């Protein structure tokens, strides 16, 4: 699994010109799922994200986690995070999981996140053409890949 995490002042998803979901201060999480991802990837990644200290404390230092601030969360599936641009100019998405694998893992990720965060999260609509709007706070953008735990 690969995520792009953006600390946002607000974010929203629109589908066909209608707002589908929106959040205030918190995290926008773009989630890419690979064919060989498992529940273990979900567990490790959720624990990492909710404890990641990327929110400012009273001194302006990034010392607070999502759990500390109880911010909002928007999770959007994005298969293009697994694009390979190694050959040619057209990206290959061969590593991205097909819907029969990705949808259950996406749903499990959302459910596991809610369970361990203790709060409902907003989502996109898997497979839909979505428009995202956000105000990135900082900007703070973090990329995490469960296959390359840096």
User: How does DSSP assign 37-85, residue by residue?
Assistant: --HHHHHHHHHHHHH---EE-TTS-EEE-HHHHT-EEEEEE-GGGG-B-
Asked if residue 118 is part of any domain, the answer here is yes
Asked if residue 47 is part of any domain, the answer here is yes
Asked if residue 89 is part of any domain, the answer here is yes
What is the arithmetic mean of pLDDT over 3-18?
98
Q: Residue 90 corresponds to which tokens in the numbers above?
A: 């057209």
Asked if residue 150 is part of any domain, the answer here is no
How many structural domains is the chain composed of?
1
pLDDT band at 148 (very low <50, low <70, confident <90, very high): confident
Q: Which string of b and e fits 29-43 if b means at least 16 CB within 10 Å?
A: bbbbbbeebeeebbe
d(CA 69, CA 47): 16
| pTM, two decimal places | 0.95
Asked if residue 94 is part of any domain, the answer here is yes
Judged against a pLDDT cut of 80, whether residue 144 lies above it is answered with yes
Q: Which one of the listed residues 38, 59, 80, 85 is annotated catalytic?
A: 80
Indicate the DSSP class of residue 149: -
What is the arithmetic mean of pLDDT over 93-120?
96
- The predicted pLDDT at position 104 comes to 97
Asked if residue 133 is part of any domain, the answer here is yes
Catalytic site residue 85? no
CATH of the domain at 51: 3.50.80.10
Domain extent for 81: 2-145
């Amino acid at each position: 699994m690969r995520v792009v995490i953006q600390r946002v002042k607000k974010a929203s998803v629109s589908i066909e010109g209608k707002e589908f979901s929106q959040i205030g201060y918190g995290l926008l999480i773009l989630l890419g799922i690979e064919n060989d991802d498992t529940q273990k990837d979900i567990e490790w990644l959720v624990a990492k994200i909710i404890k990641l200290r990327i929110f400012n404390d009273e001194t302006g230092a990034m010392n607070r986690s999502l759990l500390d601030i109880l911010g909002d969360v928007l999770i959007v599936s994005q298969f293009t995070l697994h694009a390979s641009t190694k050959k040619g100019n057209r990206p290959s998405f061969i590593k991205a999981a097909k819907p029969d694998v990705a949808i259950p893992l996406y749903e499990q990720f959302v459910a596991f996140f809610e369970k361990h965060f203790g709060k409902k999260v907003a989502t996109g609509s898997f497979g839909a053409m979505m428009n995202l709007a956000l105000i990135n706070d900082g900007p703070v953008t973090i990329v995490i890949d469960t296959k390359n735990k840096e």
